[in-house]
A = this chain, B = another copy of it.
Amino acid sequence: MDAVASFMDQWSQERPDLDVTPMATIGRLSRMAALIQQRIDGVFAQHDLQSWEFDVLASLRRSGKPYSLTAGELDRTMMITSGTTTHRITRLEARGFVERVRDEDDRRVVHVRLTDDGRRACDAVHGVHLDNERAILALMGDEDRVKLTDGLVALAQALGDVPPAAPRR
């Protein structure tokens, strides 16, 4: 009996007129995301990094050389607002992990470029982070893990979660 199952039982007592079956899926989805995030935060904290910092560094890192994205591209990749992106860049710039480079052709655009220090910080923790995620998933059986992944792929499709459009050149 997990937490969400218990909540659903309570509702069947208190509001038998409501069909709370969506909670079985969506309630657990958000709870599991929160629980896993706590574990992930813990691993990054051991390496003097916040999860949001790794998100930025990893977004730049995986974009390939020259490890540079515009502020707007970061907005869309990380699903955050532009104000938050500004704040994140500023803090990472202060740590020396990224630098701002104004676009020469379009002066509105800011290119955020990973520094060598930033790349090192990202690469140094990436393996540990993935091992942690692997260990979490290893707690489930193979069959269930496949079901979960298949279901999430279908959900991503259903919600139209496409990657942010590449910049037009």
Contact = CB atoms under 8 A, between A and B. Distances in A.
A100 interface: no
Contacts of A134: 19, 21-22
Interface residues of A, number: 68
A62 to B, nearest CB: 4
Contact of A35 (B23, B161, B163): B161
Interface stretch (A1-9, A89-97, A102-110): A1-9
A45 interface: no
- Kindly report how many copies of this chain are found in the complex they form together: 2
Contacts of A149: 24-25, 28, 151
Nearest to A80: B34
Contacts of A154: 140-141, 144-145, 147-148
Nearest to A22: B133
Interface string A132-148: 01101101110011111
